[in-house]
Structure 1
Amino acid sequence: MPIDDALPALVAALRSEGRVVLQAPPGAGKTTRVPLVLLEASLADLSEGGGRILMLEPRRLATRAAAERMAQSLGEKVGQTVGYRIKGESVVGPATRIEVVTEGILTRMIQSDAELSGVSVVIFDEFHERSLNADLGLALAWEIRGALRPDLKLVVMSATLDAAPVAALLNDAPIVTSEGRAFAVETLHLPKPLAKTIRFEHASADLVAQAAQETEGGILVFLPGEGEIRRVAGLLAGRVSSDITIHTLFGAMSFADQRAAISPAKSGRKIVLATSIAETSLTIQDIQVVVDCGRARRARFDPNSGMSRLVTEPVSRAEAEQRRGRAGRVCAGTCYRLWTKGQEGALPAFAPAEVEAADLTSLVLELALWGAASPDELAFLTPPSAGGFAEAKRLLLELGALDVSGRITPHGRKIAALPVHPRLGHMLLLGGAAGAPLAALIAGRDPLRGAPSDVSLRLKAIENPKEFQRSHPYTLHRAAIQTLRSDAKSLARLVSHIKHSGPKYSTAELAALAYPDRIALRRNGPAPRFLLSGGKGAIMDEVDPLAKLDLLVATDLDGALHEARIRQAIPLSASSLRALFPDQIQWQKTCRWSRRDKRVIARREERLGALVLTEQHWSDAPEEQMAQAALEGIREIGLPRTAVSDRLLARIALFESDGFPQTESQSLLDSAETWLLPHLLGLKTEGQLRNFDPSEALRQMLTWEQTQTLDRLAPASFVTPLGNKVPIDYAGEAPEIAVRLQEMFGVSQHPTVGPTHIPLRITLLSPARKPLQTTADLPGFWATSYVDVRKDMRGRYPKHPWPDDPTQEKPTLRAKPRK
């Protein structure tokens, strides 16, 4: 196999250094060759207390397939030299030396045996996928090697990973690169970008049909999810020749159906419509062609809402290369790409690591169980998201899994021992086997199509599918029902030993225990809009039977950033809510600005999180708290302005470079708590706030020295030679006054303002107060333009003085005396 040339260097590096990073292109054979070669090289020596090789795979299908291929190459059955372990299934025996496991299994093994007794080598296959469990597993294994097991050997393998950062993480581990490729793959791009009017599924089906006409052999098609797979399968029906069989391949299928998709076609050709499950670690027999439709579906966790949402994104270049490699496994192949060569450069180099974007609740619990209060205590290739980490700790504290100092509680240890999300572990520990069907439903997929949101409908379908189908019009997803029934039985067995002396919980109460932050209270108004106890908003379809209810538990939401759509929920009674959370429901006194009522509201509220269950008027609320609420109103409606305050701010703005306060509206609002708050006492309504003049509050922002400087260098008024105060307008490009020309007689030096002595712009007025001339150089005006003004004005206003030399004339507002 192509990987064989690199294996001697791999064995030598592992023997001498105990750690190695292996880069090998897709199809090189690393998954099935490396464990066997390490076993043959006696790197898993029974005499040294080890003996087993663990290899981690990202998916259950890949785990089984890799174990079966290695066992087949040895002429054995799975469970002899090579075995596998996945969630709920273990096929190993006393003679097993190579165990292929899903990534979460390693974490469970480490948490139950910190030395990984009996394990000599841990191989992280397809590490480029950067799953949360793989990153955590590597961090834990590296700490074990450093603190407890210096003999533990680590191998990190990938086809498309940037190896240097991983090698650096492992204390400059050797990098071994295999250049061998199974077979050449020709890559074909679209000649021009798809028109925006073409639907994705139609374009995908067209490209698949084209590939079927132009090539021979099996075709593997990559699509983002089950929905797209089913729609493309429908579009292909009748478009491809009758000797082509269409298979589907996605995670929710039964293993038997998955095996049928990856097995060789019994006759003719086959098309396999698959999700990213087929991207790595699988050799699908007789595939010679790949059609990459260029999209991937990923989970994105929003720590602000505490919700995950599925997003469909363009594939990364690394993922596209992985997919392309599927076409060259068994012979020379062809890869069709649903994008142009030019568009390829805009694709991201790598998909984001799960630790950057996923729900970190399980990770935080595992770290707490390990004794690490912070991810900084372990060597993570990519640090977990700070916001996601904080949100996970908040939830675990609410579930009672962590104490206030962040240490794991006895209840948290029990939760961590269950192979489910901590929400569901908490629910199962309190509710026992009765909660198993609900836990399976929440963790699994929706078994109904076209049904409203009610969780109880789905639980009835799981309990008795035949009876449900007879009495309800909704379509059952048979494979999902089977999986959920099986998962429910497994979960029930896990908690069957727990003795429950507490109350028996209803289904709604169990849901509330799992989702204390998703208890939904209907908002006022006709639309079915809800406020969640965690503080976020949610909406529901108006035609949903649950839409008119006041209180629900939302067990499934789409995670939309603004308002999440409730996809599954169950009604909860107020009495149940109070019985479940007596310690969390508290009376609080609050003053706040009501956006709806446009006024300060003072209330005594009975609250569960963000939900207000009961409220009363708070008649003796402190004035300071009322003023603080009024300040929130100011921040909503904006800082009130008057002509006086605008002039004052314009004056202060001249001195900003001299350490005076900032005068932009946002800066003033940001600092309003220090200068404005004391002046808002007694103001409660929007009208009162809008009529408030902030001038005095603005003046009090200034120190005594600043006030003196402001009044001296940038006064509010210009004092004329006659002693009259003329307001200075600071709002324009330059400070400006308007004054009658005769009042400026005798002024031979132009007046200035501000620290940089900006000349005042003076509009000189006629005796009738009409503009005659605007100047920023009064001496220059007297010497030049005044002559022409005098000629025009002395005939029009003969009773007023128009001297030859205005600089020597006394200022006046009077007309000439009668002779």
Structure 2
Amino acid sequence: MVREEALGLLPVGTALPALRRALDTRGAAVLCAPPGTGKTTLVPIALAGLTDDAGAGARGRVVVAEPRRIAARAAARRMAWLLGEKAGGRVGFTVRGERVVGPDTAVEVVTTGVLLQRLQRDQELPGVGTVILDECHERHLDADTAAAFLLDVRETLRPELRLVAASATTDAEGWARLLGDAPVVRAEGTAHPVEVVWAPPARPVRPPHGTRVDPALLAHVASVVRGALAERTGDVLCFLPGVAEIARVARLLGDTGAEVLQVHGRAPAAVQDAALSPGRHRRVVLATSVAESSLTVPGVRVVVDAGLAREPRTDHARGLGSLTTVRASRAAARQRAGRAGREAPGTVYRCWAEAEHARLPRFPAPEIRVADLTAFALQAACWGDPDAAGLALPDPPPPGAMAAARSVLAAVGAVGPSGRATGRGRRMARLGLHPRLARALVDGAPEVGPRRAAEVVALLSEEPPREYGDDLAAAWRTARSGRDGYAARWRAEADRLTRSLGGAGDTPAGTAAPADAGDDLAAPGPGHASASASASASASASDDTVAGFVTALAFPERIARVRSGTSYLMVSGTGAELGEGSPLRGSTWLAVAVADRAAQAASARVRLAAAVDEGTARAAAEHLRSLGEEVRWAGGDVAARRVERLGAVELSVRPLPEPAAGLVRDALLEGLRREGPGLLGWSRDAVALRQRLGFLHRVRGAPWPDMSAAALLDRAGEWLEPELSRARRRADLAGIDAGPCLRRLLPWATGEAARLDELAPERIEVPSGSRIRVDYTGEQPVLAVKVQELFGLLQTPRLAGVPVLVHLLSPAGRPAAVTADLASFWRDGYRAVRAELRGRYPKHPWPEDPATAEPTRGVKR
């Protein structure tokens, strides 16, 4: 029996006529409706013709795509309740591992991942008349991909398929353009007023770093919740970024007297159902962003918002993915605040300053910009568009992330040379797993048995709770005997994966195989471990061996060998550290399942791993093994060796007695680049020549060569040949006289080289007849000469147009004066020098008029 009264209270009903007109005329629409208006519940059943005001009636089944399993279940149950039924009748739902539908189901709520699987199996979606993409503002990658695929289907196969992009807060104009200039239908809500209370911490708190949140902020959030319980009525919904933060705040609220519920994607179904049902006592619901949309938590009058969210990040260079804590967007803050006004006037406490609010990002970052795109790239390849260039996506995938994703897919044999999906890749895509995990399941099952492979992959697909520890094999044993929510979900997923191995290789009827899909569906990828190579991981092997083998298949780049103590080096080249007290300490080899690396950290922190032996490491990462000759500069000399590597990990090293001359030359050049030209033999004449040429380059420029170390090293192959080619070690470099080699850089072709001694002579002849060496080390050439030897010289010598800086010395060779203008010195400065030195050196001439005096090298006659 339809609950007419409840339906009549949903404000979105007033927008239904406009929505129907938009779908009838354009086939697509963008629906913007505030939280609590019935966008998720009334619209689907109305479009399916299940209400009295069905209008034109149904046009096939209505499929509603939700971003999360908890939202899909809750929305289906709420719609069934509005119709006076239970889920599984005219309204059903399908999520991974659970399907509750019947022969009369007209509205089916699915996750976006399930929708993608259906589109890949049968692009026409037979029997489906309307698809609603709910909460599209969250910009999940699966939702964006599903929208692109559906638009492709409308354009090529089913122009009559109707699409609705629905959200409470979204870029309506952007989605309207994406859907082909679809009409935007807005529903005005009658949401109750929500008072905003700004509640920043009294003292500054550290900003989030990685997944770390300052405990002081969490203590403040708990304090705000306590204050809200004392000041306001009704239940409290508190938004926190993750499971660890929820658990910490729950401990801080243990003595409030209220019932504290922890709601997140890993929470047991019973806890999720309890949060979505009216409570008998006052409640505090601590939730992640799963409670932002598509869910109504009854009884909530107060929202406490910590202002944080978790987003994925991927280090493509190291093959590490992780979640990071960021400031929530303004759109998310509006969604969260709206939870307080669903049923009555409410209050939202925002744990940040009002002045900071305008600086928050307008919308959350689209997942396609920041996430690992391997699964997306496989979806696109299976769709027939490996580059995703022809897909109508709200944001294009970053080229670097797509290149990294295609590299992974090629390594596991999921795509062929053209980038199109292989038969093996299509089989992996239908497993509903990340391609890495699908590879581990497909290749691991024949070696260790389907059930054991499925159990390990189920552990890898949803990281076990931290209390399970960082030893994957131990966590596996804990999950087997566990009775908590995680263990229940793990068993259900392991069952699903075991069943999927039986039929995952069947090609759906009517599905054409792509050009690269002619291979055997079970053909191994480049990194597959053969039965002979993985004999240690047989069906009778221990749990520890199996856990390591399957993990190594999934993440061959994360296989790591110990360096010292708890420090490891992964095949990818990234360092890894075990935590204190880890039971994995002492293991020579690890297969790392989960690791995260802070932005400035030198090494990643191992969160979950399994011990493996070298044979398993070699087998799983065979495609990364290399054997080659290495000649490089190491330890201050040429090191020549034959090295076997597994990625960045050295497996064996032997001396190379006769390295190739070209490799030796390159190593010597590397040594020169690292340690500088000082490795060569620099006589006094060579140093002087370098300084003279450097002076000419400074004052004249080209064609005189640059004598800086960097410039010389850039042209080392030009001026050091053939001496460099004959050298074999560091000592040979020291035997090369750099002076004659430098002369090869002189501008011989232009004829300027002949003017070297004219423009920058090594010595200058002074009036006394002495030839004095010029110092070119400074910016200006320096001539250091005794005063008496310059008597009669009125003009300062100039070199390449630059006046020489004359250092006038006493008879004992000590500095007496410095000048770049001799005429001025004889006229004004000489008297003071003469007065000071004539008494100290009476045997030397000190004429009153040095300009006309005879120069001399010695004492008076």
TM-score range, shorter chain: 0.7 to 0.9
Change in Cα spacing, 1:258 to 1:664, as seen in structure 2 (3 Å) is farther
Cα pair 2:468 2:478 within 8 Å, conserved = no
Change in Cα spacing, 1:667 to 1:252, as seen in structure 2 (3 Å) is farther
Deviations 1:324-369 (A, max 9, x none): 1211111111111111122334433333221122111111111111
Aligned counterparts of 1:664 and 1:414: Cα–Cα separation in 2: 60
Q: Show the counterpart of 1:310.
A: 323
Cα pair 2:218 2:245 within 8 Å, conserved = yes
Cα pair 1:82 1:96 within 8 Å, conserved = yes
Q: Show the counterpart of 1:488.
A: 494
Q: Show the counterpart of 1:392.
A: 405
Per-residue deviation, 1:551: 1.9
Q: Percent identity?
A: 39
Q: Show the counterpart of 2:458.
A: 440
- Please show how residues 305-384 of structure 1 align to structure 2 within 5 Å: 305-384=318-397
Give the TM-score of the pair, scaled to structure 1: 0.87
Cα pair 2:431 2:504 within 8 Å, conserved = no
Aligned counterparts of 2:597 and 2:56: Cα–Cα separation in 1: 46
Aligned counterparts of 2:277 and 2:700: Cα–Cα separation in 1: 76
Q: Does 1:513 align with 2:526?
A: no
- Please show how residues 213-362 of structure 1 align to structure 2 within 5 Å: 213-238=230-255, 240=256, 242=257, 244-266=258-280, 268-362=281-375
Aligned counterparts of 1:790 and 1:216: Cα–Cα separation in 2: 101
Count of residues paired in the alignment:
791
Q: Show the counterpart of 2:639.
A: 601
Cα pair 1:373 1:406 within 8 Å, conserved = yes
Change in Cα spacing, 1:792 to 1:591, as seen in structure 2 (3 Å) is same
Per-residue deviation, 1:691: 10
Aligned counterparts of 2:321 and 2:755: Cα–Cα separation in 1: 55
Cα pair 1:640 1:689 within 8 Å, conserved = no
Q: Show the counterpart of 2:764.
A: 719
Change in Cα spacing, 1:335 to 1:815, as seen in structure 2 (3 Å) is same
Change in Cα spacing, 1:247 to 1:543, as seen in structure 2 (3 Å) is closer
Aligned counterparts of 1:298 and 1:426: Cα–Cα separation in 2: 26
Q: Show the counterpart of 2:514.
A: none
Q: Show the counterpart of 2:143.
A: 134
Q: Show the counterpart of 1:203.
A: 220
Per-residue deviation, 1:54: 2.6
Deviations 1:737-777 (A, max 9, x none): 433334445554444556xx444433222332222322233
SS at match of 2:557: coil
Alignment root-mean-square deviation, CA:
3.6
SS at match of 2:385: coil
Cα pair 2:694 2:706 within 8 Å, conserved = no
Q: Show the counterpart of 1:592.
A: 632
Q: Does 1:574 align with 2:614?
A: yes
Show structure 2 runs of 5+ residues with no match. Answer: 1-9, 206-213, 506-521, 524-529, 532-537
Aligned counterparts of 2:795 and 2:331: Cα–Cα separation in 1: 75
SS at match of 1:495: helix
Which of 51, 56, 59 is matched with 2:65 structurally?
56
Q: Which amino acid aligns with 1:103?
A: T
Aligned counterparts of 1:616 and 1:135: Cα–Cα separation in 2: 52
Q: Which amino acid aligns with 1:413?
A: R
Q: Show the counterpart of 2:5.
A: none
Cα pair 2:774 2:781 within 8 Å, conserved = no
SS at match of 1:654: helix
Per-residue deviation, 1:220: 0.3
Change in Cα spacing, 1:223 to 1:578, as seen in structure 2 (3 Å) is closer
Comparing 16-25 with 667-676, greater Cα deviation is found at 667-676
Cα pair 1:764 1:771 within 8 Å, conserved = yes
Q: Show the counterpart of 1:468.
A: none
- Please show how residues 496-575 of structure 1 align to structure 2 within 5 Å: 496-497=502-503, 503=531, 504=538, 506=541, 507=546, 508-523=548-563, 525=564, 527-541=565-579, 543-560=581-598, 562-575=602-615
Aligned counterparts of 2:550 and 2:215: Cα–Cα separation in 1: 45
Aligned counterparts of 1:608 and 1:309: Cα–Cα separation in 2: 24
Deviations 1:34-53 (A, max 9, x none): 3344445989987xxx6233
Change in Cα spacing, 1:273 to 1:777, as seen in structure 2 (3 Å) is same
Which of 618, 623, 630 is matched with 2:656 structurally?
618
Q: Show the counterpart of 1:473.
A: none
Q: Which amino acid aligns with 1:628?
A: D
Change in Cα spacing, 1:248 to 1:577, as seen in structure 2 (3 Å) is closer
Per-residue deviation, 1:425: 1.0
Deviations 1:55-107 (A, max 9, x none): 22111111112222223223343334432221122223343333222111222
Comparing 690-699 with 204-213, greater Cα deviation is found at 690-699
- Please show how residues 56-95 of structure 1 align to structure 2 within 5 Å: 56-95=65-104
Q: Show the counterpart of 1:766.
A: 810
- Please show how residues 102-113 of structure 1 align to structure 2 within 5 Å: 102-113=111-122
Per-residue deviation, 1:123: 2.4
Per-residue deviation, 1:312: 2.2
Cα pair 2:618 2:646 within 8 Å, conserved = no
Q: Which amino acid aligns with 1:766?
A: S
Aligned counterparts of 1:680 and 1:181: Cα–Cα separation in 2: 84
Cα pair 2:267 2:485 within 8 Å, conserved = yes
SS at match of 1:282: coil
Per-residue deviation, 1:678: 7.5
- Please show how residues 6-21 of structure 1 align to structure 2 within 5 Å: 6-21=15-30
Comparing 168-177 with 64-73, greater Cα deviation is found at 168-177
Q: Does 1:414 align with 2:420?
A: no
Q: Which amino acid aligns with 1:74?
A: L
Q: Show the counterpart of 1:776.
A: 820
Change in Cα spacing, 1:32 to 1:513, as seen in structure 2 (3 Å) is same
Cα pair 1:447 1:481 within 8 Å, conserved = no
Aligned counterparts of 1:113 and 1:31: Cα–Cα separation in 2: 26
Deviations 1:712-755 (A, max 9, x none): 796374624447252333445x444433334445554444556x
Q: Which amino acid aligns with 1:482?
A: A
Comparing 610-619 with 783-792, greater Cα deviation is found at 783-792
Aligned counterparts of 1:382 and 1:284: Cα–Cα separation in 2: 33
Per-residue deviation, 1:292: 0.6
Deviations 1:567-605 (A, max 9, x none): 3222222334445566654422112344xx454322212
Per-residue deviation, 1:442: 0.8
Q: Show the counterpart of 2:467.
A: 449
Q: Show the counterpart of 1:96.
A: 105
Per-residue deviation, 1:532: 1.5
Change in Cα spacing, 1:213 to 1:611, as seen in structure 2 (3 Å) is same
Cα pair 2:816 2:833 within 8 Å, conserved = yes
Change in Cα spacing, 1:723 to 1:601, as seen in structure 2 (3 Å) is same
Cα pair 1:627 1:678 within 8 Å, conserved = no
Change in Cα spacing, 1:679 to 1:193, as seen in structure 2 (3 Å) is farther
Which of 385, 393, 401 is matched with 2:414 structurally?
401
Comparing 580-589 with 257-266, greater Cα deviation is found at 580-589
Q: Which amino acid aligns with 2:420?
A: R
Per-residue deviation, 1:785: 2.8
Q: Show the counterpart of 1:157.
A: 166
Q: Which amino acid aligns with 2:323?
A: L
Per-residue deviation, 1:27: 3.5
